[in-house]
Amino acid sequence: MTFSESISTCFHKYVTFEGRASRSEYWWFFLFGLILGCIPAVNALAEVVLFLPGVAVCCRRLHDRGKTGWLQALPLGMILLGGFSAVVFGMSVFLGFTIVLAIFFSIWLLVECARE
């Protein structure tokens, strides 16, 4: 799949969470998001516009790997859990630990999307 085909496919399937996505479809769209994110004038708008298609293509890519798309929520859930415990229980050490775990799971998620 080429760069333009990937972008077109991801925008046509921007709320399609079923099915599968090839590595090239995922990584070309990922590169597209990185390129737009580096342009200061369109960075905020690009994040809003690319959020849902990005989640959908990652979900389809994880399905292609035989995993559930809900694994994307793991890093965010860990950060929210750490923030909640820091505010309610005053455990700021736990917040730092959950942020480190969230970074680890984010890297693991990228590796999973990169594997064949």
CA–CA dist 98, 116 (Å, integer): 29
pTM reported for the whole predicted model: 0.82
Could you tell me the two tokens for 100?
Answer: 């480190």
Asked whether residue 60 falls in the same domain as residue 98, the answer is: no
The tens digit of pLDDT for each residue in 5-25 reads 999 999 999 888 999 999 999
Could you give the number of structural domains in the chain? 2
Q: What is the 3-state secondary structure (H, E, C) of 49-63?
A: HHHHHHHHHHHHHHH
| Structural domain for 116, as ranges | 67-116
Question: What is each CA distance from 53 to 8, 49, 60, 81, 84, in whole angstroms?
Answer: 11, 8, 10, 26, 29
The tens digit of pLDDT for each residue in 34-91 reads 999 899 888 889 999 999 999 999 999 999 999 998 999 988 888 888 888 777 777 7
Asked whether residue 58 falls in the same domain as residue 25, the answer is: yes
The tens digit of pLDDT for each residue in 29-47 reads 999 999 998 998 888 899 9
CA–CA dist 6, 3 (Å, integer): 5
Asked whether residue 109 falls in the same domain as residue 71, the answer is: yes
| Size of the chain, expressed as the number of residues it contains | 116
Asked whether residue 74 falls in the same domain as residue 115, the answer is: yes
